A and B are shown apart, each in its own frame.
Chain A
């Protein structure tokens, strides 16, 4: 197993061509500092949008400098839609209104949006993806399928070509009284039939102890390549994902970064699970997600 450091994300992004990042929303010094840092590091090219950014002593021109933060966000979306920018960075806390705006960026993408947190697992320094930590309160099976499809490319840009995915549940047995076990079993069967890609393995239901430990899984009769080798944890609902991420971030001080997917083009946001210094990693992730170089 290759150990992973979150700084690898910056290293990967530096190999890409610069992307035009349109920054809109309320003035947020941590976000502004990060986007300027991305410029210095060679993968970002900021376009500040709206009068909120007139305070900046920067040589960059401010687009739509008569617009307030809300109006600027709409203008920024237009810029992305019209190919005048590559990525939208929203400095504001994530809201349902913004999600509606982000959903309209590219009509070809009508999939579910989900938020993915990425970190190096504290015990083994393994690259780990958690989803959905923010958006879908109680996803149906069809939404979970979309979430998996959205998340596989994120693992891919981080160097995991055929991810192992644990469909989490409280127990490893299918129990009709617990919906997460039923959903996980269906996803697991779909994976066996190659419906997520020939070499992508979804295993479930798996409790967290069997997902993390091949020995624990074996003791409970689970024979699979996934336990002990999980790249992506698919959580049953946002409560389980977000609360687990809260503990990792706040109690165990794990550095999380994150990306919103399913929007058509990368959108940079930050969740309250992450510390201020995650902005630069979130920007780098979005840059990595752009296919054209």
Chain B
């Protein structure tokens, strides 16, 4: 289990380099991370996108285009499908999102999952670091499933538990987090939580345990958060709550956010297009740990 992303990066450096497909690397921040990632021995990149744009971007960094393998594919959906296919066939360990709208990759991943592993569902997993918490914790699903029902939530949790196992957390604690508000459909929520608790007991999501509480107010009534009791996985009720929360953690709280999208046994790194190269390097490290067979 990693206390922070620095530890994770140190481990990733020992495991690299891994072959990766970088989709649309034609922005300075993406290209800088690709070059630094390759220099550090984290990745062996295959660049996928518009060759002309890629070559123009590489020139900004005084490197020759022939230093990297380039697959020329201008059409975003085709390029995205190509990357997912390279991951499916084992040519690359994982896919890295570059300067492209995430929905192209979501579409490719959803299609792949439906065709090849219909018992799974793709979802986004955001890993976080916060000063007061001495471990990397995960929030899901802020990206793919808009308003998941209980059967989708089980599949999302299975992905999350698997990811935390790979991160070395063998028995992750899950909180099915919700608002501590005045009124609302508490009965439905309680029912969902009970079902998920039973599924966890029946080992339908891998080894894990569910918190008895549904919010931080109840888990830490004295307002002092303890790392040992802090959940390893938070399942949010919907995409609104998940997406706003994960972005608040770094943009408002000053924590760190690193996101991946998984599905059909494929890992796709899904940083924000606005992420800087330093964040993207951390993201590469996360990809390496998660794509390591059996985890570390």
For window 182-221 of B, CB contacts with A under 8 Å fall at 182-185, 215-217, 220
Q: Which A residues are in CB contact (< 8 Å) with B178?
A: 239, 243
Determine whether the beta carbon of A209 is less than 8 Å from that of B216.
no
Partner of A246, one of B142, B217, B244, B247: B217
| CB contact under 8 A between A243 and B274, given known A178-B146, A248-B248, A251-B130 | no
Partner of B252, one of A121, A134, A238: A121
Q: Which A residues are in CB contact (< 8 Å) with B255?
A: 251-252
Asked if A58 CB lies within 8 Å of chain B CBs, one says: no
Complex Cα gap A168–B255 (Å): 20
Determine whether the beta carbon of B254 is less than 8 Å from that of A237.
no
Asked if A150 CB lies within 8 Å of chain B CBs, one says: no
| CB contact under 8 A between A250 and B238, given known A121-B252, A208-B251, A240-B245 | no
Asked if B77 CB lies within 8 Å of chain A CBs, one says: no
Q: Which A residues are in CB contact (< 8 Å) with B239?
A: 170, 178
Asked if B249 CB lies within 8 Å of chain A CBs, one says: yes
CB of A201 to closest CB in B, whole Å: 19
Which residue of chain B is the closest to A132 with respect to CB atoms? B181
Determine whether the beta carbon of A208 is less than 8 Å from that of B247.
yes
Partner of A236, one of B142, B143, B240, B251: B240
Determine whether the beta carbon of A216 is less than 8 Å from that of B254.
no
- Give 1 or 0 for each of B239-275: 1 = CB within 8 Å of chain A CB: 1111111011101111100000000000000001110
Determine whether the beta carbon of A247 is less than 8 Å from that of B254.
no
Complex Cα gap A212–B241 (Å): 17
Complex Cα gap A219–B276 (Å): 12
CB of B28 to closest CB in A, whole Å: 12
Asked if B225 CB lies within 8 Å of chain A CBs, one says: yes
Which residue of chain B is the closest to A123 with respect to CB atoms? B254
Determine whether the beta carbon of B274 is less than 8 Å from that of A239.
no
Determine whether the beta carbon of A122 is less than 8 Å from that of B253.
yes
> Considering residues B131, B180, B185, which has the most beta carbons from chain A within 10 angstroms of its beta carbon?
B180
Q: Which A residues are in CB contact (< 8 Å) with B249?
A: 247, 251
Asked if A292 CB lies within 8 Å of chain B CBs, one says: no
| CB contact under 8 A between A213 and B244, given known A250-B225, A251-B225 | no
Q: Which A residues are in CB contact (< 8 Å) with B237?
A: 239
Asked if B71 CB lies within 8 Å of chain A CBs, one says: no
Determine whether the beta carbon of B181 is less than 8 Å from that of A135.
yes
Determine whether the beta carbon of B130 is less than 8 Å from that of A240.
no
CB of B148 to closest CB in A, whole Å: 13
Complex Cα gap A137–B181 (Å): 8
Interface size on A, residues (CB 8 A): 54
Interface of B is mostly: loop
CB of B134 to closest CB in A, whole Å: 12
Determine whether the beta carbon of B182 is less than 8 Å from that of A99.
yes
Determine whether the beta carbon of B243 is less than 8 Å from that of A243.
no
Q: Which A residues are in CB contact (< 8 Å) with B131?
A: 252
Partner of A243, one of B132, B179, B254: B179
Q: Which A residues are in CB contact (< 8 Å) with B179?
A: 133-134, 137, 238-239, 241-243
| CB contact under 8 A between A250 and B217, given known A212-B251, A242-B181 | yes
Complex Cα gap A242–B216 (Å): 10
Determine whether the beta carbon of B272 is less than 8 Å from that of A252.
no
Partner of B236, one of A122, A219, A241, A243: A243
Determine whether the beta carbon of A247 is less than 8 Å from that of B253.
yes
Q: Which B residues are in CB contact (< 8 Å) with A275?
A: 223
Asked if A117 CB lies within 8 Å of chain B CBs, one says: no
4 tightest A-B CB contacts, nearest first: A242-B179, A170-B243, A208-B247, A216-B274
Q: Could you list some 20 contacts between A and B, CB below 8 A?
A: A96-B182, A133-B179, A134-B181, A134-B182, A135-B183, A137-B179, A138-B184, A170-B239, A178-B239, A180-B240, A208-B247, A209-B247, A212-B252, A216-B274, A238-B181, A240-B245, A242-B181, A243-B177, A243-B178, A252-B252
Contacts A235-B240, A250-B223 known; list 16 others, CB within 8 Å. Answer: A122-B252, A123-B251, A123-B252, A123-B254, A134-B179, A137-B184, A171-B243, A208-B243, A208-B252, A240-B240, A242-B181, A244-B244, A248-B252, A251-B132, A252-B253, A272-B180
Q: Residues on A close to B: CB < 8 A?
A: 94-96, 99, 121-123, 128, 133-135, 137-138, 168-171, 177-178, 180, 207-213, 215-216, 219-220, 235-244, 246-254, 271-273, 275
